[in-house]
Amino acid sequence: MATAGTYWAAAPVVRRVRAYFAPVNRAAQTPVLFDASEQGEFNLDSPPAPWISLGWIRNFVRKPLGKMVPVVTGIPATVLEQTWELLDAQVSFHFQSWTKLTMALSTGSQHMNLLTAASSATPTADGGSAVPAVMIQTGATATFLPLAAADAATFIAGQMVAVDVDYSGQTGYVGTPVSGAYVKSALTDVNYVRRVTFNVARIASVTSAGLTLAEALPGGAPTIGMKAQALVGFVDREGGSFFPEWSGMFVLEGSQGERIFYHYPRLQPVVGTVEKPLVPTTDVPLPIEDKIKPLLVAPKYQGSLERIALTALCRAMPITDPLDGELVLCYRSFLPATNALI
């Protein structure tokens, strides 16, 4: 029986789903964990570090693909207990914006920066010879890159810039703060790390002292030896052997203030690059043939505008929970509304 000030809560009513992602340390095989007991009340516009908000998403679907099988014994056979034969799960959704990170999360291969091409460079599909990078001086922060005056003059406000070290023949995972690629054998492109780095930002203003950025670098303040290099856009490839990996967290906030969290410590894309025109808002009923088309096939509307959304389909990879040693794909947490009976 409810007492004064309390109530029986109905099923949560949510309008949208908010997505957050964080880089997995591939070299150390360490995901980012979300603790709903400590972090669950965070401001949705300001997630706890190192989580990055990717805004609202659409068509969020969780799909358990695990298979339980019975363990039988005796004659006649009798079910003694159950066990997992397969532990698997997927999650799919559509991003509502195109950014470097949303592109990277919706492709099953490495995602790269299109560095500004040098004059008369031979065209290549993922960017030819690039304009040389410039050394960042001491005193850099996540939003300001001190440069020599001559180097600063090579940039203009509004450009994008990649910040990372020169490639010097190393193998293994490379890139800051996310492992953007895995190098199997030594390469020759000195700019390769900056081609795959996620440490990018837009330039807000340029002075003789350096570059002021419109957004903080994801990797924080540049370290000694890092260089800045202009870029014009991004590119990914259909194919390749590198599988990117992220920690994911999805938040559903109910109308009474309750919150549901789906935390996937490890997510890897299942498919290559996929986009889907979202159905435009209209009062005209859709033809029945459009209603039954598969998810990734877009209906055509003559004379209409289409919003092209990036489609993400990810597989949940397991971690071993240190609490009890169990293999886990996803954590579902629920924070009830204030005064709701439990």
> For residue 281, what pLDDT is reported?
45
DSSP secondary structure, 254-315, as one string: -TTS-EEEEEEEEEEE-SS--EEEEPPP-SSPPPHHHHTS-TTSPPP-TT---EEEEEEEEE
Q: Which residue has the higher pLDDT, 336 or 7?
A: 336
Question: Domain for residue 1, yes or no?
Answer: no
Instruction: Yes or no: say if 212 and 144 are a contact pair by the CB < 8 Å rule.
Output: yes
Cβ neighbour number for residue 312 with a 10 Å cutoff: 25
Q: Which of 213, 236, 259 lies at the terminal end of a domain, its last residue?
A: 236
119 and 204, same domain (yes or no): yes
Residues 151 and 231 grouped into a single domain: yes
Domain range for residue 62? 17-108+243-335
The answer on pLDDT for 133 being more than 60 is yes
Evaluate whether residue 162 is within a structural domain.
yes
For 184-207, write each residue's pLDDT tens digit.
999 999 999 999 999 999 999 999
pLDDT at 2: 59
Predicted local confidence at residue 283, as pLDDT: 39
Residues 99 and 134 in one domain: no
Angstrom distance (rounded) from CA 332 to CA 250: 10
Tell me the pTM.
0.85
Q: Mark whether 229 and 305 lie in a shared domain.
A: no
Q: Is the pLDDT of residue 250 over 60?
A: yes
For residue range 256-304, what is the model confidence (pLDDT) as tens digits? 889 999 999 999 999 877 777 765 544 344 444 444 444 445 555 555 6
Residue labelled with tokens 């809560």: 9
Burial 163-191 (b: 16+ CB within 10 A, else e): bbbbbeeeeebbbbbbbbbbbeeeeeebb
For tokens 């033809």, the residue is 287
Check whether residue 205 and residue 59 sit in a common domain.
no
Q: Where a domain ends, among 236, 257, 292?
A: 236
Does 4 have pLDDT greater than 70?
no
> Of 236, 256, 291, which closes a domain?
236
Q: Which of 118-132, 137-151, 259-273, 287-301 has the lowest mean pLDDT?
A: 287-301
Question: Among all chains, which residue has been given the structure tokens 């293999």?
Answer: 327
341 domain residue, yes or no: no
Number of domains in the chain: 2
- The pLDDT score that the predictor gives to residue 224 is 93
Q: Which of 120, 211, 219, 198 is nearest to 159 (CA)?
A: 211
Residue 79 resides in a domain: yes
Q: Which residues are CB-contacts of 301 (< 8 A; sequence separation ≥ 6)?
A: 280, 282
